[in-house]
Structure 1
Amino acid sequence: MHAAIQFPDLSPELFSFAVGSFEFALRWYALAYIAGILVAWWLAIRAVENARLWPGGTGVMTRDQVGDFLTWAVVGIILGGRLGFVLFYQPAFYLQNPTQIPMIWQGGMAFHGGLLGVIVAAYLYTGYHNMNRFQAADLIALCVPPGLFFGRLANFVNAELWGRPTDLPWGVIFPGAAAQDCPDVLGLCARHPSQLYEALLEGLILGAALILLAWRKGAFHRPGLIAGVFFAGYGAARFAVEFVRQPDAQFVSAGNPLGLALQAGGYGLTMGQILSLPMIALGLWLVTRAKTRA
């Protein structure tokens, strides 16, 4: 067996306690949502209250509106993320078991669906308040990477959404990871820590790039530029990581061991890659539009 890192002894729960028959537990995933929302709120407030960042010296939202929109965004994330998972990844199962669709505590959220939920919430909110939608999109995009960073770290702590088998020295042996696609004599399986790859690319690097554009490059003066870089950057990062990310089980079969959702002539794309392509296209269009109208 090649050198590998044993997954640390981490519990998905920070703590838990019971009161009678009721048990309460605070999970890392819940903490990731909370941390992502708080950092997003702080970042948005810093941006809208910095007059020099905006055309005309006025932010697209007020401080109070930032707080109001967060409520809309959270609803969009939850509804969109769940419906996206149902429609994109397991439509047949949920068609037969519709009562399980609301059971989000059992797991099953899709980022692309959550993103669509936020887009719908933003479209409705900005229309109601008669805001510049491209500027609002820039502000929202600026605030997304912290949530992605914390969310991917939570995925790692939960030992879920791991990568494909690898013999690289930083491969991680995750508990519960099926070893049938990389068996060894001990029944162990080292895999790419793809959650950490995504935390680095989608969270830290993309987030730092957007902050640099906003505070150093005057990107808010080119409405749509920050949103475009976010869409294209996330789409490209997710597309790349999909090559080493374990495919969704529902797409894997004896004739399709790579779990490709679309294949032809021996080549194909995973569902994550298929959903990322429109994001890349939209991002490039937004960047081109922003630069030609500057």
Structure 2
Amino acid sequence: MFKIKKKTDKPKPTVLYNIIEDYSEFDAPGNVTACAMTEKEDVARHAKVLAESCGVPLDTMTLLLSQGGIYVYPQEGGVLTKGLFACRVDQTGAIPKQTYVLDLMQFAEAEQVARSPSISLEDAAAEVFIRTLPDELTTKLQQKNLGLDYRTLDRAVAKGGDIKYIDFRKDWSPHFKRLCIMPDGRLVETGGLEEFAQLHGITSAQAKTLVEQGGTLEVNGEILACQIVNGQPAVARFTARNYAKAKELVSAKGLHIMDALSEVAYNDPVMMGSLVRKELSGGR
């Protein structure tokens, strides 16, 4: 006798974006990834992710996503280390909601623009942000739904209708998978800091410092190296043997450890094969 299995109504995981336009290879500060969504916004989920990612209090982020506005980052130890977070909301719905972060240089420029009594800091921030974007992306933003041909989109994406919001992001998050070259030549894909930390057996704090600042970290005799390229982390892990070779190059040629590791990688057929595959995959 056969049993009929009933379908279980498992809740579907929340998807934050279903359209990704990658401009991370563009020169800073315009090296953003435009993350858009055609489905109805889950404000609570959206606010939680952006609050954690952008370092904005959750209550403040929820309010900003609902009403729009800016959040100027507070000083740390009397020093301003970040610019501002902005959320642009068109109450008519004609233009999708947009969120972005200005770095210190952009923030300073926005403050200069806002000295005119006719322009607010929020409008000045938008003007400065748009000005620094790649021309191609700027052109797309002037078109409805980024100028996408909905006939060519995945049906599930297209049926959501018009784009509801666009987050311009640069961060290392679960939404942006990164490829790490491992000592055995594997390209291992990781997303958020927790996943990256677990893969390498390091703490979240160590992972955060490494991918934000670049550099090296010794892990059980091996070495983890991260180079920041256009604001994005490129990561590789080297065996103890290759690490020793790199240190020999540092002593013999006076190279920086990162340059020495790069030379070792290019002379290692296993790692070189991974580098080629990484280039072919677009580094993602």
Q: Normalised by the shorter chain, which TM-score bucket? A: under 0.3
Question: TM-score under structure 2 normalisation?
Answer: 0.27
Structure number having the greater helix percentage: 1
Higher normalized strand content (fraction of residues): 2
Higher RCO (CA-CA < 8 Å; seq separation 6+): 1
